[in-house]
Amino acid sequence: MPRAEDIVFPRQRERFEDRRKETHQRKLLDEFFDHGTLLAVSRLVSHGLIDSIDFPVSTGKEGGVFRATKNNEFRAVKIYRISNATFRHLPPHALEELRRESSVRNFGGLIYAWTRREHTILGRLKHAGVRAPLPFGHYRNVLVMEFIGTSDGAAPRLQDALVENPGALYEELVREIGRMVRDAHLVHGDLSPYNVLWFEGHAVLIDVAQSVEREHPAAPALLRRDIVNFSKFLGRLGLDVDPEEFLREVGGDLVGPPTPVSE
């Protein structure tokens, strides 16, 4: 297996030699790249999905996203921490779905299943034409996907972006959420300005592992919450949005358990 330093942050190692950055780099290595994760990264390298991991894009309690390089293009690598703390932030419906889909019960196995679930849902979204990162592959707790950004850095989250035309953003959200509901048959369930990226004037949906089928009993309430969140956000941008109309435009009438047919 390659040493951690041969895969992780090679450019930073070459460019920066001062002690502060080395200490920060070592802290990230210790936090995210344990033996099992290094094995997973090494396998993804050997399968040609990435050449190296360059630097962190965002880190949190559940995991982190890193920019990686593959030949002359960038990719994103999402690494979930293998810990029971990861599941403290999962909504009950998401954990229920994960346990229903997976026969494992230990934390490691559930994290692997969660990573696989996000890969699968991203594939469904791309197939449905939803703007979301293209998944390239996964192994254990590591997911490789399309990098949303440029050589200057990752695209900002919508919460931190400068949106000059709130009306155009509304139409964009109606289109993307509508495709997710109508064509992918999914409800995101945790949609907010914090898990939508703003790239080249377009909304890109991320953090989709907790999504549920649109027929799920919790789907109507989850979709309504997503819509209300964005209605409030658009209101802060100066656009008056009717949540009920928003809900209808994205296909809210299609969401929920099927109505039994009367005999």
Enter the pTM of the model: 0.87
Q: Is 207 a catalytic site residue?
A: yes
Same domain, 137 and 71: yes
Contact 85, 61 (CB under 8 A): yes
CA distance 214 to 162: 32
Catalytic: which of 152, 160, 207, 253? 207
Per the domain annotation, does 30 fall within a domain? Answer: yes
Same domain, 47 and 125: yes
Place of tokens 């290595």: 29
> At which of 92, 121, 147 does a domain end?
147
Per the domain annotation, does 260 fall within a domain? Answer: no
Same domain, 18 and 104: yes
* The two structure tokens encoding residue 142: 């590591």
- What confidence score (pLDDT) does residue 47 get? 95
The candidate with the shortest Cα–Cα distance to 219, out of 254, 187, 243, 191, is: 187
For 165, phi and psi rounded to 5 degrees? -130, 90
Same domain, 212 and 142: no
Q: In total, how many domains does the chain have?
A: 2
Catalytic: which of 18, 190, 240, 242? 190
Per the domain annotation, does 259 fall within a domain? Answer: no
The candidate with the shortest Cα–Cα distance to 211, out of 149, 148, 260, 255, is: 255
- What confidence score (pLDDT) does residue 17 get? 45
Q: What is the mean pLDDT of each run of 10 residues along the chain (263 residues)?
A: 60 50 62 86 95 89 90 95 69 76 74 93 98 97 97 94 95 97 96 94 94 94 96 96 97 86 53
- What confidence score (pLDDT) does residue 200 get? 94
Per the domain annotation, does 261 fall within a domain? Answer: no
Same domain, 102 and 81: yes
Q: Which domain CATH number covers 205?
A: 1.10.510.10
- What confidence score (pLDDT) does residue 208 get? 95
Q: Is 226 a catalytic site residue?
A: no
* Domain encompassing residue 132: 8-147
> How many residues belong to the chain?
263
Among the residues of 102-165, which ranges form H helices? 107-127
- The SS3 assignment for 72 reads coil
- What confidence score (pLDDT) does residue 100 get? 76
Work out the burial of residue 137: count CB atoms within 10 Å of its CB; fewer than 13 is exposed, 13-18 middle, 19 or more buried: middle
For 43, phi and psi rounded to 5 degrees? -65, -40
Same domain, 209 and 135: no
CA distance 22 to 13: 8
Burial pattern 28-61, b for ≥16 Cβ within 10 A else e, equals bbeebbeeebbebbbebbeeebbebbbebbeeee
Same domain, 86 and 139: yes
Same domain, 119 and 15: yes
Q: Which domain CATH number covers 137?
A: 3.30.200.20
